[in-house]
Chains A and B, each alone.
Chain A
Amino acid sequence: DAGITQSPRHKVTETGTPVTLRCHQTENHRYMYWYRQDPGHGLRLIHYSYGVKDTDKGEVSDGYSVSRSKTEDFLLTLESATSSQTSVYFCAISEGQEGYTFGSGTRLTVV
């Protein structure tokens, strides 16, 4: 996806370990978002950022933290991964006027 990349694309991790997912954008957009997508639940907002060091919680933020030290990078950390956090994680960017641009996603499996 042009201007936004997520890494890693796939990850398998063990229960109880910390995991960090990275979202990198080259569009200089102010707003960045982390979603998880699960069957039957659709896209659910985890955390979002409206500027460097400015972040806020979404509807499913428990067990997750974020950081944004630079405009281009938004990190999502699972502090102690659980099986319920097995999901596909999407990052999105926005400048407000034309909707969101999504990354290609990170498929995370917690075993």
Chain B
Amino acid sequence: QKEVEQDPGPLSVPEGAIVSLNCTYSNSAFQYFMWYRQYSRKGPELLMYTYSSGNKEDGRFTAQVDKSSKYISLFIRDSQPSDSATYLCATVKTSYDKVIFGPGTSLSVIP
């Protein structure tokens, strides 16, 4: 079993839709959770960084962590064509450990 699982998609939604991206992880020791966005032919860029369970909001993006079910979510409101990218979830035990990445979900937002 991989440490972080993520549906690879592709996921295609119309502009303006609410997007839900999800990951599961296997190790209850993970404490920090991240979402990275990767545009085609670019490096991943950090989108959201959260600690432990709960929600974190940044503009149209909301990251949600449920440690009891080992479930990580990213919600995108009012999705835009510029949100079309691959989204990678990631997690780590401590802030100085090596990050474990999910394989990524490819998202297309259709105008």
Contacts and interface: CB of A to CB of B under 8 A. Distances in A.
Main secondary structure of the interface of B (DSSP, over half): loop
Residue of A58, A92, A99, A104 with most partner-chain B CB within 10 A: A99
Main secondary structure of the interface of A (DSSP, over half): loop
Contacts of A101: 45-46
Interface residues of B, number: 19
Contacts, number: 45
Interface residues of A, number: 22
Interface string A82-97: 0000000010100011
Given A40-B103, A98-B49, A101-B45, 18 more contacts: A1-B43, A1-B45, A31-B96, A42-B102, A43-B88, A45-B98, A90-B43, A92-B43, A96-B95, A96-B96, A97-B95, A98-B46, A99-B99, A102-B44, A103-B43, A104-B43, A105-B42, A105-B43
Interface of A: 1, 31, 33, 40-43, 45, 48, 58, 90, 92, 96-105
11 contacts: A1-B43, A40-B103, A42-B101, A43-B44, A43-B101, A90-B43, A96-B96, A98-B46, A99-B90, A100-B46, A102-B43
